Chains A and B, each alone.
Chain A
Amino acid sequence: MDNVFYTLHDFFFHTESITYLLIVPVLVGITLFWKFLAEKEDE
């Protein structure tokens, strides 16, 4: 986390990489959360 960034490209490469990795569990998580929220209503 304490990386030193010498260029704006380095900074964006680092932060965007982490963001893209976060997107995967987020998409799975929000789908499961919606199912949890709406499941009983559908029944």
Chain B
Amino acid sequence: MYENDSTDEKSWITPFNVVAGLIVVIGLVITILRFTGGLATVTNLSDYNPWGIWIGFDLLVGVALAAGGYVTSAAVYIFGMKRYHSAVRPAILTGFLGYALVVLALHYDVGRPWRLPYPFIVQQGTTSVLFEVAACVALYLAVLFIEFSPAAMEWLGIKRARNLVDKLTLLLTILGVVLSTMHQSSLGALFLIAPSKLHPLWYSPFLPIYFFITSIIAGLSMVILESTLSYRYLKHKMDEVYLKEKNDVTLGFGKAASFVLAGYFIIKFFGLSSGNDWRYLGTGYGIWYLVELFGFVALPCVLYAVGVREKNLVLIKWTSVLAVLGIVVNRFNVCLIAFNWHLPSSERYVPHWLEIGISIFIVTLGILAFRFIVTRMPILYTHTDYKDSH
């Protein structure tokens, strides 16, 4: 039986809380250094390398891994796969927190963060891909907030507003899919401007398609991973419906991820072929490209397929870790490793340890916020007042 009361009599001093507390304190110190001393104090960014891990990891990986929200709500509300309904709220919450943290990370990365609203109110710059990304991320964050709000309103007992937002579910889902399709692909399109800087194996006119397809893989895999971790640490918050549907979600999403990975693997070869880039495969970068393609695309594709066929849930869960790692590797390759590949090693970007510290700090904030919300609001269970509303 799940527990939906928020009072917890247990001691606050647990290994998790101590480690998380330490990371938050160190993160706050680095934050002060960043905003008092400027970017040069805490980063190795330069004119050659203006995008470091705050863009490569916090933004590109963050946005991709937050794709579970639109993938799950599209599956349930547009494609009618109601058997995955219990996965929607955790996925929307992960997406909302993911995007919120992406915007937080942007405040660290841009030189003058107080100018972030400028694209909307001062200089539209509508010919820029970055403007489209900014507009979509801002709008989609608002959509995710509204999609998430019924859980908060059920917790706070605001029934009328909750029922009103509930009626907007399909409209919000469609908006979410449209906005995600636009900005997930546009993040790849950003690199189309740099054909001379990005290694030919990773540069392709198909980059927007690659980014969009990998966001679906990331979303599906993150839902499996998040559900596994929630079951491990927050099982007491899950109701019978969630526990009953959990295995179906793992099998169904594993099957979808396997098929999408197969499609992605194929179009990567078409990309190689259309650019006539085969000759690069024999180089050092080529070997690393093949490691990415076979180790983080083909391998999870086969493992997911075997897991689904044999109904091996453990294999599917571990494969989701590999697939998520694959997304991280891919975004790092495009944004950092294969970018500026022609520069001498002395000019290449290596992240400052304080940059890594901020990334760990932001991920920790996300985990803490997720735990805070899930232990209080009806995310993994249906609120008793709304048992018949789905």
**Interface residues of A, Cβ cutoff 8 Å to B:** 1-2, 11, 14-16, 18-19, 22, 26, 29-30, 33-34, 36-40
Q: Which of B269, B273, B308, B309 has most A Cβ within 10 Å?
A: B273
Q: Which of A15, A38, A39 contacts B273 (CB 8 A)?
A: A15
The answer to whether the Cβ of B259 comes within 8 Å of any Cβ in the partner chain is yes
Q: Are B270 and A1 in contact (CB under 8 A)?
A: no
How many chain-B residues does the 8 Å CB contact rule pick out? Answer: 17
Which B308-366 residues sit within 8 Å CB-CB of chain A? 308-309
Q: Are A15 and B275 in contact (CB under 8 A)?
A: yes
- Nearest to A21 among chain B residues (CB) is B273
Q: Are A36 and B309 in contact (CB under 8 A)?
A: yes
Complex-state Cα separation, A39 to B310, whole angstroms: 11
Q: Are A19 and B270 in contact (CB under 8 A)?
A: yes
Which B271-314 residues sit within 8 Å CB-CB of chain A? 273-276, 278-279, 305, 308-309
Q: Mostly helix, strand, loop or mixed at chain A's interface?
A: helix
Complex-state Cα separation, A30 to B310, whole angstroms: 20
Complex-state Cα separation, A16 to B270, whole angstroms: 9
A residues within 8 A CB of B308?
Answer: 37
**B265 CB, nearest partner CB in chain A, Å:** 10
- Nearest to B311 among chain A residues (CB) is A40
A34 with B259: in contact, given A1-B279, A15-B275, A19-B274 (CB under 8 Å)? yes
Complex-state Cα separation, A16 to B276, whole angstroms: 10
Complex-state Cα separation, A27 to B273, whole angstroms: 16
Can you pick out 13 interface pairs between chain A and chain B where the beta carbons lie within 8 Å of each other?
A15-B273, A15-B274, A15-B275, A22-B270, A26-B266, A26-B269, A29-B266, A30-B262, A30-B263, A33-B259, A33-B305, A34-B259, A36-B309
